[in-house]
Amino acid sequence: MYIITGGAGFIGANLVHGFNRRGIGEILVTDHLQQPDKFRNLSALDILDYEEAETFLPKLLAGRYGKVEAIFHEGACSDTMAQDGRYVMENNFSYSKALFHWCQENRVPFLYASSASVYGMTGCFQEERKAEHPLNVYAFSKFQFDQYLRAHWPDLQSPVHGFRYFNVYGPREFHKGRMASVALHFTRQFQNDGVVRLFAGSHGYQDGEQRRDFVHVDDVVAVNLHFLDHPRSGIYNVGTGRAQSFNDVAVAVINTLLHRQGKARQSLAQLQAQGMIIYQPMPDALLGKYQSFTQADITRLRAAGYQNEFLDVESGVERYLDWLSTQEQT
């Protein structure tokens, strides 16, 4: 049996889908369902069992689940604007430590979600201490767990893989609200209003030209399953290695939707001229906290043996919108 914490969430549910595509349904999903419609992420998938996060850990520590092949730890408080630091550290740090030690004691591979947020505003995206400067308690909780593991690398008894996800987008994120990807927000804006709204220029970047490393969730799943099959313990950036602009995402979204309507694809300049892409000031809450540029350095990922190509924004957005078109709610 495989265990996926946060398995009803965005990346967790896509991992379930990845296993199902391999013909594997012996999966225990653990999550919080205070937001009950998250169940929709799992309703078309096959799992063996479900457990609420609060009751899962005591049962695991008591040996209630029998043989476990691997734990994929995707569960966390992922709100970068969260204000309750004690809650975030308990969920993201202490809980992770308990799972890690259980996996080591029982010789079970442990694959967990770190975050590119640990880099803060350093502008350096290498898996090294000098590049890490978290700006909020969410990022700190991820950083501190990475640090905790670094002290244990020499004594590992089973594989451990930490994945620093960059800007992930794709299916099964409808429940994330304001934390959902810009690809989803832009799609909803254009479908509802015929307009996509981006931030005006900042940090030397022109309007909408701020750049992020946007990575499709299918690629994230592929990385996880690769290291399950080919373990090589370490902390790895998971991004495309190529930053693209928010304008690129907006153009990809609009052109995919226009193409479905039988209309011609248009350039950024044409979409701007027609008022389909507009710009607005950055909210005060983000001032001084907004990363205008991220780009994963995937040197270590490649050196560890992962050689698959990543989807670019144009291909990834089209794949995502194809999936959204099959859903009742986007």
Q: Which residues are catalytic?
A: 138, 176
Amino acid at site 228: L
Task: Specify the pairing of strand 244-245 against strand 277-280.
Answer: unpaired
**Two tokens, residue 293:** 């540029």
CA distances from 117 to 6, 78, 94, 121, 125 (A): 19, 11, 19, 9, 10
- Residue 14's contacts (CB-CB under 8 Å, 6 or more residues apart) are 170, 171, 172, 217, 218, 220, 221
Q: What are the backbone dihedrals phi and psi of residue 249, each rounded to the nearest 5 degrees, phi first? A: -65, -45
- Residue 324's contacts (CB-CB under 8 Å, 6 or more residues apart) are 171, 184, 187, 330
- Residue 8's contacts (CB-CB under 8 Å, 6 or more residues apart) are 29, 31, 33, 38, 39, 41, 42, 50
- Could you tell me if 220 and 11 are in contact, meaning their C-beta atoms sit under 8 angstroms apart? yes
DSSP, res 163: E
Cα torsion through 38, 183, 142, 87, rounded to 10? -40
Where would I find the H helices in the chain? Answer: 10-21, 53-61, 85-89, 95-105, 137-150, 182-193, 217-229, 246-260, 268-273, 299-303, 313-324
SS3 55: helix
Angle among Cα 39, 110, 64 to the nearest 5 degrees reads: 65
Q: What's the distance, Cα to Cα, between the start and end of the chain in Å?
A: 32
